[in-house]
């Protein structure tokens, strides 16, 4: 393993650890199955539910709609997507930076890297179009 690969691997491990310590959270209305992003918070201190008025604003509900069915939990889709993206991007970058250009390793590295970029694109779609 050369120096560039070691740095890439260390950055990948750092990002993976950071994403596990501060996962994505989501507000969910069990009454309507609507989900809204609650941001990133420390793993062991989830965000609190906001006041009923603020929750109605977040979910664009009427004043008469109930808010007792709302709860907050980790966003499993984003957490899994982040894990896969970091794994594929790190593995792909490490394989691309191989000193000896073995064609199979090089092609597999680019395949992993492109898969990682695809997962990132799906995560962006999930956040901006499905949680907004």
From CA 106, how far away is CA 19, in angstroms rounded? 28
Q: Would you place residue 131 in the very low, low, confident or very high pLDDT band (cuts 50, 70, 90)?
A: confident
The backbone torsions φ and ψ at residue 26, rounded to the nearest 5 degrees and listed phi first, read -140, 140
The b-or-e profile of 44-61 (16+ CB within 10 A means b, else e) is: eeeeeebeeeebbebbeb
Q: What is the pTM of this model?
A: 0.87
Query: Is the confidence at residue 6, as pLDDT, over 80?
Result: yes
- Per residue in 75-111, pLDDT (tens digit) is 999 999 999 999 999 999 999 998 777 899 999 999 9
Q: Which two tokens stand for residue 93?
A: 């970058």
């Amino acid at each position: 393993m050369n120096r560039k690969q070691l740095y890439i691997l260390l950055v990948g491990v750092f990002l993976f650890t950071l994403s596990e310590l501060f996962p994505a959270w989501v507000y969910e209305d069990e009454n309507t199955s609507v989900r809204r992003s609650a941001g990133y918070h420390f793993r062991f201190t989830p965000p609190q539910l906001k006041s009923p008025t603020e929750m109605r604003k977040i979910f664009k509900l009427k004043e008469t709609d109930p808010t007792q069915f709302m709860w907050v939990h980790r966003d499993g889709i984003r957490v899994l997507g982040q894990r896969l993206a970091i794994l594929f991007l790190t593995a792909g970058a490490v394989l691309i930076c191989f000193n000896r250009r073995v064609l199979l390793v090089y092609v597999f590295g680019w395949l992993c890297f492109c898969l990682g970029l695809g997962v990132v694109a799906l995560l962006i779609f999930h956040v901006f179009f499905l949680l907004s």
